[in-house]
């Protein structure tokens, strides 16, 4: 089968022929229908993540159908549609796993990073970490739910129950959460790159009550803000935008350095925290919400062989919604 592989940091992905072993215990072989393109994939390409096992196949928003089942797999059938998320496996034995915080597992494996991912025609995955997906929905609309949606939803829950929610970086995750927030009676304030009038108009079409540049102050104080843009300078800007007692949540796996800022921005019981990975419970909770709301991503589709083009479009900020690779 063919896969787009990363052989060294800073290099473009290359199409290669790859052989998959038969699925081992608890594992399934999946014929990939679609795979979302995530900003984390750019951090992978740029060598900004530690311990990358080159060569590696990126992609951790995988939608496909089960083609083969290994020993010990229960609850899944050949031909069933599943999703493969970022969290590929955990050890089940470290202190974090024992405490029910498997997202912090000391020995976790991550799809498309430490484990080969979905920029490929097929993928092997641990069935215990896969999610059932509706068979009738377009695969391209489901793929971004598996990271932009899942980890974005974990950040959304951490932001609390305030009404005024700021979303910095209106891309794949924010365009999904804007729909969730609106359905739950919240008001979304969308922040885009300066000059991105199309992105701001896109946010308004999805129900944002205000949209502006990330260097602007919102017209009223925020109860919470979530940062999806990997720009450290936005942290003090977001702290300045939230009210006393407000929360700022950093939702990315990598961010540029946060500049020094006066303590006055944090004072007033404002809080700042990060989100790391996800748990299987997060996945189940978000997929229930997505099903209830009929949530679907706005997807710009590319062929597997156009993965480099998709990544460059994401880097330039020209993708509205999410970029998705489709197979076949």
20-33: per-residue pLDDT in tens?
999 999 999 999 99
pLDDT at 214: 96
Q: Average the pLDDT over 59-78 and give the result.
A: 97
Q: Crossing angle for the helix pair 172-183 and 150-158, nearest 10 degrees?
A: 50
C-beta atoms surrounding 306 within 10 Å = 16
- Pairing outcome for strands 87-89 and 109-110: antiparallel
Tokens at 267, concatenated: 């004072």
**pLDDT at position 316 over 90:** yes
Reference 242, options 191, 174, 276, 192; nearest CA is 191
pLDDT at 122: 98
The mean pLDDT of the chain is 97
> pLDDT, tens digit, for every residue of 211-240?
999 999 999 999 999 999 999 999 999 999
pLDDT at 172: 95
In the chain, what is the straight-line distance between the N-terminal and C-terminal CA atoms, in Å? 12
What percent of the chain is predicted at pLDDT more than 70?
Answer: 100
The secondary element (H helix, E strand) that includes residue 81 is: strand 81-84
Residue 26 CB contacts under 8 Å (≥ 6 apart), including other chains: 70, 71, 72, 73, 126, 127, 128
Reference 200, options 231, 178, 233, 225; nearest CA is 178
> pLDDT, tens digit, for every residue of 153-195?
999 999 999 999 999 999 999 999 999 999 999 999 999 999 9
The whole-angstrom distance between residue 328's C-alpha and the CA centroid of its chain comes to 24
pLDDT at 296: 80
pLDDT at 266: 97
Q: Average the pLDDT over 293-315 and give the result.
A: 95
- Report how far residue 218's alpha carbon sits from residue 187's, in angstroms, rounded to the nearest whole number: 12
pLDDT at 123: 98
Residue 328: band (very low, low, confident or very high) from pLDDT cuts 50, 70, 90: confident
Q: Which string of DSSP letters, residue by residue, matches 185-234?
A: T-EEEEEESTT-HHHHHHHHHTT-SEEEETTSPPSS-EEEEEE-S--TTH
**CB 293, CB 180: distance < 8 Å:** yes
- Report how far residue 106's alpha carbon sits from residue 174's, in angstroms, rounded to the nearest whole number: 29
β partners of residue 189: 166, 210
CATH number of the structural domain 150-274: 3.40.50.720
Whose structure tokens read 């970022």?
Answer: 86
Q: Average the pLDDT over 81-94 and give the result.
A: 98
Q: Average the pLDDT over 283-305 and give the result.
A: 94
User: Does the N-terminal peptide bond of residue 310 adopt cis geometry, omega within 30 degrees of 0?
Assistant: no
**pLDDT at position 252 over 80:** yes
Exposure pattern of 93-128 as b/e (b: 16+ CB <10 Å)? ebebbeeeebbebeebebbbbbbbbbbbbbbbbbbb
pTM of the model: 0.95
**CB 241, CB 214: distance < 8 Å:** no
Q: What residue ranges do the domains of the chain occupy? A: 2-146+297-326, 150-274
Tokens at 151, concatenated: 């980890």
Tokens at 80, concatenated: 């069933």
Residue 306: band (very low, low, confident or very high) from pLDDT cuts 50, 70, 90: very high
β partners of residue 271: 247
Residue 276 CB contacts under 8 Å (≥ 6 apart), including other chains: 103, 104, 253
- Report how far residue 140's alpha carbon sits from residue 302's, in angstroms, rounded to the nearest whole number: 10
One of 1.10.132.20, 3.90.180.10, 3.30.470.10, 3.30.450.20 is the CATH number of 2-146+297-326, namely 3.90.180.10
Q: Average the pLDDT over 130-137 and give the result.
A: 95
Residue 262: band (very low, low, confident or very high) from pLDDT cuts 50, 70, 90: very high
């Amino acid at each position: 089968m063919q896969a787009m592989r990363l052989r060294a940091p800073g290099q473009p992905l290359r199409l290669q022929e790859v052989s998959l072993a038969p699925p081992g215990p608890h594992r399934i072989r999946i014929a990939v229908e679609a795979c979302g393109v995530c900003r984390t994939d750019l951090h992978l390409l740029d060598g900004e993540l530690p311990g990358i096992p080159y060569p590696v196949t990126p992609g951790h928003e995988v939608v496909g159908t089960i083609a083969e089942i290994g020993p010990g797999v229960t609850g899944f059938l050949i031909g069933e549609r599943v999703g493969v998320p970022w969290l590929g496996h955990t050890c089940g034995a470290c202190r974090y796993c024992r405490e029910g915080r498997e997202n912090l597992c000391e020995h976790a494996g991550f799809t498309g990073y430490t484990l080969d991912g979905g920029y490929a025609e097929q993928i092997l995955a641990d069935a215990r970490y896969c999610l059932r997906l509706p068979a009738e929905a377009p695969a391209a609309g489901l793929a971004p739910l598996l990271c932009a949606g899942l980890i974005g939803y974990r950040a959304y829950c951490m932001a609390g129950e305030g009404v005024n929610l700021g979303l910095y970086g209106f891309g794949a995750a924010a365009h999904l959460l804007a729909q969730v927030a609106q359905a739950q009676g919240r008001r979304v304030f969308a922040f885009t790159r300066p000059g991105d009038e199309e992105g701001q108009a896109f946010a308004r079409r999805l129900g944002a009550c205000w949209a502006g540049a990330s260097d602007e102050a919102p017209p009223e104080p925020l109860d919470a803000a979530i940062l999806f843009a990997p720009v450290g300078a936005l942290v003090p800007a977001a702290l300045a935008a939230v009210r006393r007692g407000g929360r700022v949540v950093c939702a990315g796996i990598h961010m540029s350095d946060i500049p020094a800022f006066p303590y006055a921005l944090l004072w007033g019981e404002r809080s700042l925290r990060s989100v790391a990975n996800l748990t299987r419970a997060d996945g189940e909770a978000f997929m229930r919400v997505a099903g209830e709301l009929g949530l679907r991503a706005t997807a710009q589709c590319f062929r597997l062989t156009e993965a480099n083009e998709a990544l460059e479009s994401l880097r330039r900020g020209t993708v509205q919604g999410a970029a998705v690779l489709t197979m076949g």
